[in-house]
Amino acid sequence: MGGVGSWTERVVVRDGVRLVCRDRGGEGRPVVLLHGLAGHSGEWDVLADALGPRHRVVAVDQRGHGASERRPADTARAAYVADVVAVVEHLGLERPVLLGQSLGGHTALLTAAAHPDLPYALVLVEAGAGGPGTGVQAEIGGWLESWPIPFPSRAAAAEFLGGGPVGEGWARGLEERDGGWWPRFDADVMVASLAEIAERSFWTEWSAVTCPTLVVLGQHGIIAPGEADTLLTARPQVRALSVPGAGHDVHLEHPGILYEAIRRFLGELES
């Protein structure tokens, strides 16, 4: 679970929107990694290294994030889903594992529901189907607007964003320009991307998922116990794991535990 492996930048354009991916190549079952809101593909580096020997790992900068189109006109959930399908088709990823955290997990869920023949399996990290999230847009928007940008250094950003592996993971998504370190997203685009989640739940879509599914939650994450129970009640065959002591960014806090859970899950499917 050590250093960062090499990757090749791939660019997929769908309806004029530029999507940038980190493709690590390799053999084996493809795994598509989808980061959360205001995140970036580099968040997955440690996990991607661990998955690399057995899988072709592709980490996507979703629309509005990272190196991808910064201000897409369409921020609907359906647009995010169509982007995933475009990446899978363009890169020739046959029946990949869709693995996403937070908003990326929600995108993966909706993709699996709308395109049941596309994924081999689904892994959700701190993501669910609940809603509506009354006030979530104002809360997230207020938090993003509170960032004291530009940060004077990446280290200062990491400290502001929580320190440790979580703060460092978030800070790796910044870019240096104009005398400081800036996010590679716009807060209003992030808020717009939450519009549908703020308005409704997605239990119908969750029930429509047919592929094998693993749900990984942090003990201190954002998925309420009631929602977690409903996820499993609606689909009793789903595998689930709660990571002790973990918060929302399980992939940054405990990539080793997450990798082992994924390895066991996929190993059982292939045995």
Note the CATH number of domain 8-133+201-270: 3.40.50.1820
Contact 125, 251 (CB under 8 A): yes
CB atoms within 10 A of CB 133: 17
pLDDT digits (tens, 9 = 90+) for 95-137: 999 999 999 999 999 999 999 999 999 999 999 998 888 899 9
Chain segment 234-250, per-residue pLDDT in tens: 999 999 999 999 999 99
What average pLDDT is seen over the chain? 97
Distance CA 260, CA 271 (A): 16
Residues of the chain falling short of pLDDT 50: 1-3
At 2 the pLDDT is 43
- State the pLDDT at residue 4: 60
Cβ atoms of 206 and 230 closer than 8 Å: no
Element (H, E) at 205: helix 203-208
Dihedral in degrees, nearest 10, Cα atoms 100, 101, 106, 110: 10
